[in-house]
Amino acid sequence: MKLLLTSSGLRNEALRDALRDLLGKPFESANLVYVPTASVAESGDHGWFVAGLSRLHALGWREFDILELNGLPRRMILDRLLHADIIYVEGGSHYHLARSITGNDLADGFLEALKSRVYVGVSAGSMIFSRNLTEHSADVIGDAGDLHVLGANTVKSPFGLFDWYVKPHLYSPDFPERDDAWADRIVERADFPIYFIDDETAVRVRDDKVDVVSEGRWRFHP
């Protein structure tokens, strides 16, 4: 399994090089499928979404597919995931994304695809692999309101692969409250490991090996 779990996409050369290494071939020889599902649950201006999509597309791909996880036949979704070399899952609401995967019975198919594809997560797309993605973690992190706005009180991790949790956008100007004091308050409540990563950082998973790729700053609390 090859995962590159970013905060804000492929924003620097270190992250792009890490993806090339995981992929094993040039971007222009690869098919990419882009999953925007998490973004649609966010209200307000979506300029961030357009900017991220444009940056990604500009890297040059043999094929650039866009795939929504809700409303299409399950077999069609899984076939298009399997057609891609890279499964790129955009940010937004990690709770909506997790519920879309479990609610559409896609978790097993996703995991099957990830045996031979490279996965890139952005923000929400990076958060859905922790088995600690639950209503308890929502209380610990302080974002239970993002779950309740969906009309839900519970959430189930679609994959549950890791004990550790990824919390993105540390030190981001778009999230000015996410400073060291904010991280410290979460750590005081947390009973699970957390990677806090900034927008220039990713957690890289290659089979059983986990490390961090960064041109920025990050924190890990076991």
- What is the Cα 153 distance to its own chain's centre? 22
Name residues whose C-beta falls within 8 Å of residue 44's C-beta, 6 or more positions apart in sequence.
none
Task: Please list, residue by residue across 38-72, b when 16 or more beta carbons sit within 10 angstroms of its beta carbon and e when fewer do.
Answer: bbbbbeeeeebbeebbeebeeeebeebeebebeee
Whether this prediction's pTM lies above 0.85 is answered by: yes
For residue 204, what is the DSSP state? E
Q: How far apart are CA 66 and CA 29, in angstroms?
A: 17
Structure tokens, 88 = 């790129």
Sign, CA torsion 201/124/31/102 = positive
- What does the domain layout of the chain look like in residue ranges? 2-221
Q: Domain 2-221 carries which CATH code?
A: 3.40.50.880
Residue 17, beta-bridge partner list? none
Other C-beta atoms lying within 10 Å of the C-beta of residue 116: 10
Residue pair 63/32 in contact by the 8 Å Cβ criterion: yes
Structure tokens, 48 = 């961030």
Residue pair 88/18 in contact by the 8 Å Cβ criterion: no
Q: Which residue has the tokens 């925007």?
A: 36
Tens digit of pLDDT at every position of the chain (222 positions): 999 999 999 999 999 999 999 999 999 999 999 999 999 999 999 999 999 999 999 999 999 999 999 999 999 999 999 999 999 999 999 999 999 999 999 999 999 999 999 999 999 999 999 999 999 999 999 999 999 999 999 999 999 999 999 999 999 999 999 999 999 999 999 999 999 999 999 999 999 999 999 999 999 999
Q: How far apart are CA 196 and CA 201, in angstroms?
A: 9
